């Protein structure tokens, strides 16, 4: 590959991604207070489906998570009143997820606060480096997909 970084730098970056993930989760959990970052991300994914109420399987695929792990997160959100878990009207084997009014109320009025959180997170990182990171992560996600297919055969 052209211009590929040395393997020791790649290995360091691999480790730093895990460290970054752990620290983001700790900070995010404190910042969000009422919900965890995993619960937040589940709600974001469901919101992306718009008016359509996605199935547990559809959301699990989007999250890159197992149905079992996702269901545990969804059950906790249901217990807090942020979403409902319902059987599909046409096929009782299918489970659908829907955000509640409480979810909308939670996010209402947080926009400025959340923008400030994101700005502080990326403070001092030039726009061109953000673009490079986005392209790099896009390629890594593509590679993860290919590797996942290889090992799931």
Q: Where are the domains of the chain?
A: 13-109, 122-153
Note the pTM of the prediction, 2 decimals. 0.85
The structure tokens listed for 105 are 């109320």
81 secondary structure, DSSP code: T
Select 13-109's CATH number: 3.40.50.150, 3.40.50.2020, 3.30.70.870, 1.10.10.10. Answer: 1.10.10.10
Residue 1 has pLDDT above 90, yes or no: no
Report the C-alpha gap between 10 and 38 in whole angstroms.
27
Mean pLDDT of 36-62: 94
5 secondary structure, DSSP code: P
Report the C-alpha gap between 153 and 147 in whole angstroms.
10
**What pLDDT is attached to residue 17?**
94
Helices 67-80, 37-48: inter-axial angle, 10-degree rounding: 100
Mean pLDDT of 98-125: 93
């Amino acid at each position: 590959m052209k211009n590929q970084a040395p393997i020791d730098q790649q290995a360091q970056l691999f480790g730093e991604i895990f460290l970054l993930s752990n620290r983001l989760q700790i900070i995010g959990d404190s910042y969000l207070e009422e919900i965890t970052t995993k619960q937040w991300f589940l709600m974001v994914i469901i919101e992306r489906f718009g008016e359509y109420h996605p199935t547990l399987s559809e959301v699990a695929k989007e999250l890159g998570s197992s149905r079992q792990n996702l269901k545990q997160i969804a059950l906790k959100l249901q217990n807090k009143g942020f979403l409902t878990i319902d059987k599909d009207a046409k096929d009782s084997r299918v489970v659908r997820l829907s955000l509640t009014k409480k979810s909308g109320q939670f996010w209402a009025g947080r926009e400025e606060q959340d923008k400030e959180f994101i700005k502080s997170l990326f403070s001092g990182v030039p726009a061109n480096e953000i673009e490079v990171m986005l392209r790099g992560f896009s390629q890594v996600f593509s590679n993860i997909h290919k590797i996942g297919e290889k090992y799931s055969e």
